[in-house]
A and B are shown apart, each in its own frame.
Chain A
C-alpha cells in the first residue's frame, strides 16, 4: 500500500519547497512546519515501504519519458536503507534548525532550500536509471551552492559556495561523460542485437546496465566506471577534489550537518555502491585478481582517509575539524568498497553502507552539537572555548557519545559498542583481509586505515577536551540550547550508541540487493579468514590510545605544545595550510593557468597576430571605408531594427512561397 505512494517521498518535500518559498513569511517560524511535516511524511512512507518489502522485496515503477529513456523508481534494500536514513536525519536537522535559525530573518528561504535539498537527495536515492540519478545529483549540487552561500553577504561564504559548485562540477562533468560513454556503448550493443532488453526496460536503467556488463568492451567498462568514480570523488570530497568540503563550513551549521550527514556527500558513495557490479566486472590488468576500478577506489579512499585525518589534527575551527573528519570517513567508505569489494564481493556494499549510515547518525550529531556550542558562545574557534561542560551538559554528553562513536570505541568479542565501533571495525577487517589475500603492498591499505583511526580518535577528542573541559579561555557567557535543539541531539545520540546492534540484520539484508537485481557478483569466497585476536582488537586499541593521547595533551596539558604548534615547524605549517590546497587551486589553477596562460595567450594572439597582421592592411581599411558609408543606416532605435528584421523574414517567407515551395 505504501509502495503505491513511493513518488510522494520526493514530491512532498518538493511541494514543501514551493509552499515555504512563497508563503513562508506569513507562517510560524518562516514556514518551518511545512518541510518538517513533508519530510516526516517521506520518512513514514519510507518506513512503510521498508516493512512491506522486507525481506527480499523490491519496488519498481517506471514511466516512459522520451525516446528510449524513462523516469522511474527503484527501491531495493540499498535504496530503502538510504531513504530511511536521509529522511530521518534530515527530519531531525530540520527540527533542530527551528531553534538554531530562530534569529535569522531569511528563514523562509532557508527552509525552502533545505527542503529541496532533501527532496533532491531522496530523488537520487530512488532513481531507477542513471540519467535521472544524474539530474537529481545536479539539483543536489545547486542546493548545496545556495545553502553554502546562504549568508551571501559574507564574501567568504559567497566564495565558498562558488568553490563548492566549481569543484564538484569537475566531478559532475566526468560523471556525465561516463553516462554518455555508457549510452553509446549500450546503444551499439542493442543495435547489434548483442543485448536485447525485455520490453518495458529502458536503456539507461540500472538493471539494463547490469545486464549489459558482460557485453561491454572491458577497456570501455573500466573507463566508464572510472568516470563515474570521478563524479563520486567530486561529490564525496575525495582527494584531489576534497577542497570544497571544509570551505563549505561557511553555511549555517545545520546546512553543514545536512551536507555531511544526510545529503550530498553520501551521494558519491551511493553512486559507487549503486553501480558496484560494474566496478567489480572491470578487468584486473594492474594487479591479479583485483578489478582495476576497485583498485583505484581503494587507493583514493585509503589515501583520503589518512590525508584528511592529518589536517583534522590542527584545525582550530570546530566545524573545520568535523569537515575533515567527514572527508576522512568518506574515504573509509570508499576504502571499504575498494578493498572489501575486491575480496568479498557484494558484501562490501553492506559494509560501506553500514558505515555510511552509522556515520550519518554520529556526524549529524557532532555537527548539531557543534552548532549548539556555536549558538551558545558565538564563535567557531575552539581556542576561545573551554570549560563548557558545566554550562551545557546535554550538548557535552551527546557530543561525547558522538565522539566515541566516531573513534569507534567498543568492547570486542562480546560485541558491545557504539555505532562506529561495528561499522569501522568491519572496514578495517576488510582491509586486513585484502592484505592477507594480496600480500605485499596490499597491506598499505590496512596501515592507512589503522593510522587514520588513531588520528581520528586524537582529533575528535582534542576537539571535545578543548571545548568542554579546562577553564574558559574567553569571556563568553554560555547557556544550554533550547529544548527544540537538544531533543534531536538526544535522539541522534541514541542512534549513535545503539545503531551498531542492527548489524546482524543489516549485512544479510543488503547482501541480497544485487541478487534481487539479477546480478551475480563473483566474489573470492575462499576460506573464511579468522583474524587473530590482536587484529580484532587493534582498531579499538588505537581508538583508546588516541583518547589517552588527547587527554594528556589537551586536558592534563602534560606536553608543551608551543614548540609543535608554531610557524617554525614545517609539518605544522603544511597541515594548517591544508597542504597548500586552497592556495594551489586559487593561485595555480585560478590565476596562473586560467589568467596567465589561457587569457594572456589569447590576448597575445588577438592583439599581436590578428590585429597586427590583419587590421593594418587592405582588408581592414576597406572594411572601415565601407563601414563609414553603411553606418548611416544605423538609426540607433532598437525597435526599427526589430521591425525591419520581422519585415525581412516575412518577405523571405513570401518569396519562398511564390518561388514554388
Chain B
C-alpha cells in the first residue's frame, strides 16, 4: 500500500465535487447524487485505510455505509417522486413550505 495517498487524493476529489454540487445545484436529484458522492468518498477512505492498516474493520464499516446509502437513496428518491406528483417540480428552491 505504498500509494495510500493516491486513494486519499481520489477521495478528496470526489468529496469536493460532491460538496460543490450540493451547494450549487437546484435539482433534488442532482443533490441526492452529490450526497452519494460524499458517502462514497468516505467509503474510499475507509477501505483505503483498512487495507493500509491490514484490518477488516474499515471494510465492514464501508459495507454498512453502502447499505445505509442505499436506504437513504431509496427514501430520498421516494420523497422526490411524491413531491413531484404534488408540486410538479423537484427544484428545491420552490419547495419551502416549511419555512417560517
Contact = CB atoms under 8 A, between A and B. Distances in A.
Interface string A56-86: 0000000000110000000000000000000
B24 A639 contact: yes
Contacts of A632: 100
Contacts of A638: 31, 92
Contact of B59 (A66, A634, A635, A642): A66
Contact of A642 (B23, B56, B99): B23
Q: How large is the interface on B (under 10, 10 to 19, 20 to 34, 35 or more residues)?
A: 10 to 19
B22 A642 contact: yes
B8 to A, nearest CB: 15
24 contacts: A66-B56, A67-B56, A632-B100, A634-B98, A634-B99, A634-B100, A635-B99, A636-B98, A636-B99, A637-B92, A637-B93, A637-B96, A638-B31, A638-B92, A639-B22, A639-B23, A639-B24, A639-B26, A639-B92, A642-B22, A642-B31, A643-B23, A646-B22, A646-B23
B53 interface: no
Interface in B70-85: none
A646 B93 contact: no
Given A66-B56, A638-B31, A631 B100 contact: yes
Interface string B20-61: 001111100001000000000000000000000000100100
A636 B19 CA distance: 18
A66 B47 CA distance: 12
Contacts of A631: 100
A67 B92 CA distance: 44
A66 B61 CA distance: 13
Contacts of A67: 56
Interface of B: 19, 22-26, 31, 56, 59, 92-93, 96, 98-100
Nearest to A631: B100
B74 to A, nearest CB: 15
A642 B56 CA distance: 32
Contacts of B100: 631-632, 634
Contacts of B23: 639, 642-643, 646
A646 B22 CA distance: 10
Contacts of A634: 98-100
B96 A636 contact: yes
Q: Most B CB atoms within 10 A — which of A634, A637, A639, A643? A: A639
A39 to B, nearest CB: 31
Nearest to A628: B100
Contacts of B25: 639
A636 B93 CA distance: 8
Contacts of B59: 66
Nearest to B21: A642
B15 to A, nearest CB: 10
Contacts of A636: 96, 98-99
A217 to B, nearest CB: 27
A632 B98 CA distance: 11
Contacts of A642: 19, 22-23, 31
Interface string A19-45: 000000000000000000000000000
A312 B19 CA distance: 60
Contacts of A646: 19, 22-23
A643 B99 CA distance: 18
Contacts of B26: 639
Interface string A640-659: 00110010000000000000
Please provide the 10 A-B residue pairs with the shortest distance between their CB atoms, ordered closest to farther: A636-B96, A636-B99, A642-B22, A631-B100, A67-B56, A638-B92, A643-B23, A639-B23, A632-B100, A642-B23
Contacts of A637: 92-93, 96
Contacts of B96: 636-637
Contacts of A643: 23
A630 to B, nearest CB: 9
A338 B59 CA distance: 41
Given A636-B96, A636-B98, A639-B24, 20 more contacts: A66-B56, A66-B59, A632-B100, A634-B98, A634-B99, A635-B99, A636-B99, A637-B93, A637-B96, A638-B31, A639-B22, A639-B23, A639-B25, A639-B26, A639-B92, A642-B19, A642-B22, A643-B23, A646-B22, A646-B23
